[in-house]
Amino acid sequence: MIHSKILLVLIAGALALGLAACGGMSGTPPTIITQPVSKTVGVGATATFVVVASGSMPLHYQWMENGMAISGATSASYTTPVLTLADSNEQFSVVVSNGSGSVTSSTAMLTVLAVPGG
């Protein structure tokens, strides 16, 4: 019984040393390479916001509108529903996360013009 406990301690120690040698379990936190860009579109159009990020995989995305999470908006891009004038001045950002941390993009402003289309 004592030998199995010693062996377990030795294995745990070896794993800890191995993890420390390769930078630990944390990996690389996400970094935003390309920020979302503000958009101007006409009534009845949609707007697509895109982010490019790097870091240890998998990367997870959560788009925000005026600081609130948008349900189901969990990819590197987000396309709005068809827009009305009431959507003008909305602010969009995205939180990119992985097992090592998270980063929030800059804010992209949406402007909707009274003219149809984009």
Neighbours of 114 (CB within 10 A): 8
Confidence class of residue 118 from pLDDT cuts 50, 70 and 90?
Answer: low
Tens digit of each residue's pLDDT (9 = 90 or more) over 73-97: 999 999 999 999 999 999 999 999 9
The answer to whether residue 99 scores a pLDDT higher than 80 is yes
> Which residue has 């709005």 as its token pair?
80
User: Which structural domains are found in the chain, ordered by start?
Assistant: 26-116 (2.60.40.10)
Tens digit of each residue's pLDDT (9 = 90 or more) over 22-45: 444 569 999 999 999 999 999 999
> Largest Cα–Cα distance of the chain, in whole Å?
80
Instruction: Measure the CA–CA gap between 40 and 95, rounded to whole angstroms.
Output: 22
